[in-house]
């Protein structure tokens, strides 16, 4: 029993570190937007993440027989990244993550047929409604940013669904490395075409490497360690804390303040995610 407890605590520590690093990376990434835009920042993240992950997991040792799920998985990964960066260019990170979380939440809820799950649907919808911009307010959220965050959530849902379909290919790390490489092949040229020589700034390249490490390479590796030492239900419940961690990272790094109503909305999305995770576990 003591060994199990230590493994669980280690897994929780790894997952908390993963969430902190990925949201800290997003906050640092947002600081690059004035210099290389979301396009260049995405190129930094995907490009350097792909290099780091390929060096660690060496996916070429066992290439997949069916490339279609891997390609769609990589495209969803890339789409999720750039639309999320476009979103947080316009809205606070905490709100962006909460809206993006509707993707995995929808996957979990649609997979369950229990009537009580409609309660979690209600919580999620109410939270989203509270986050929707007030069109009559000058200080309201940017509606384009809200839509982009929801699109990022749809890409996240595709990332999850096609990530499961790639499960027969080697290790999870090799799959992520291949998916990241596909996303980089598509979006790094787009970032270069958009931002040009600005990406070659020696002042910005170290930050780009840091974003690739903090936003993808390190947290994805930590999440794999956590999954080996905790149940899928516990993992999903812990991941539900990510919108709150994102809001805290936005406050500490970017001084992004949220209203009490926005915090309440984020809490509703978190509650819906926790509830759907617990219901999904009981249904299986």
Q: What are the DSSP calls for 187-230, one per residue? A: HHHHHHHHHGGGGG-TTTHHHHHHHHIIIIIHHHHHHHHHHHSS
Phi first, then psi, for residue 84 (nearest 5°) are -65, -40
- Ordered per-residue pLDDT tens for the chain, 284 residues: 344 567 777 888 888 898 899 888 988 999 999 999 999 999 999 999 999 989 988 888 877 777 888 899 999 999 999 999 999 999 999 889 888 888 877 776 676 666 666 677 777 778 777 776 655 555 667 889 999 999 999 998 888 888 777 755 555 678 888 989 999 999 999 999 999 899 999 999 999 999 999 988 888 778 777 766 776 656 666 777 788 888 888 888 888 888 888 888 888 878 877 776 666 555 54
Cα separation, 51 vs 184, in Å, equals 10
For 61, how many CA atoms within 13 A lie in the half-sphere containing its CB?
11
Residue 240 DSSP label:
T
User: What is the pTM for the complete model shown?
Assistant: 0.84
Cβ atoms of 52 and 217 within 8 Å: the answer is yes
Q: What size, in residues, is the chain?
A: 284
Please tell me the predicted confidence (pLDDT) of residue 266. 84
Q: How many CB atoms lie within 10 A of CB 235?
A: 18
CA-based nearest residue to 211, from 155, 148, 253: 253
pLDDT for 2 equals 42
Q: What is the pLDDT of residue 276?
A: 67
Nearest to 86 by CA among 32, 27, 145: 145
pLDDT at res. 51: 94
Number of H helices, E strands in the chain: 12, 0
Burial of 145 (0-12, 13-18, 19+ CB in 10 A): buried
Per-residue tokens: 265: 């909305």
- Enter the tokens of residue 20: 């902190």
Q: Would you state the pLDDT for residue 14?
A: 85
Q: Is the dihedral of CA 182, 184, 236, 101 positive or negative?
A: negative
Say how many C-beta atoms besides its own lie within 10 A of residue 186's C-beta.
Answer: 17
CB 45 within 8 A of CB 180: no
45 neighbors 215 (Cβ within 8 angstroms): yes
């Amino acid at each position: 029993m003591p060994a199990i407890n230590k493994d669980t605590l280690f897994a929780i520590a790894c997952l908390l570190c993963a969430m902190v690093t990925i949201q800290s990376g997003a906050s640092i990434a947002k600081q690059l937007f004035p210099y290389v835009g979301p396009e260049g920042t995405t190129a930094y993240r995907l490009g350097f993440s792909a290099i780091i992950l390929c060096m660690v997991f060496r996916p070429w040792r066992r290439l997949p027989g069916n490339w279609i799920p891997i390609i769609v998985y990589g495209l969803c990964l890339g789409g999720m990244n750039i639309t999320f960066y476009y979103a947080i260019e316009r809205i606070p990170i905490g709100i962006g993550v909460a809206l993006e979380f509707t993707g995995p939440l929808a996957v979990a809820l649609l997979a369950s047929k229990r009537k009580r799950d409609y309660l979690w649907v209600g919580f999620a919808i109410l939270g989203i409604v509270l986050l929707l911009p007030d069109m009559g307010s000058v200080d309201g959220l940017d509606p384009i940013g809200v839509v982009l965050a929801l699109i990022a959530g749809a890409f996240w849902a595709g990332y999850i669904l096609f990530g499961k379909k790639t499960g027969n290919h080697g290790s999870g790390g090799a799959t992520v490395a291949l998916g990241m490489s596909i996303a980089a092949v598509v979006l790094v040229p787009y970032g270069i075409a958009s931002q040009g020589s600005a990406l070659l700034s020696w002042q910005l390249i170290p930050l780009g490497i840091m974003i690739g490490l903090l936003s993808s390479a390190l947290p994805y590796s930590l999440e794999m360690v956590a999954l080996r030492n905790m149940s899928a239900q516990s993992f999903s419940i812990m991941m539900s804390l990510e919108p709150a961690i994102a809001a805290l990272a936005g406050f500490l790094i970017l001084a992004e303040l949220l209203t009490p109503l926005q915090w309440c909305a984020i809490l509703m999305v978190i509650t819906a995610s926790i509830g759907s995770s617990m219901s999904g576990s009981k249904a299986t």
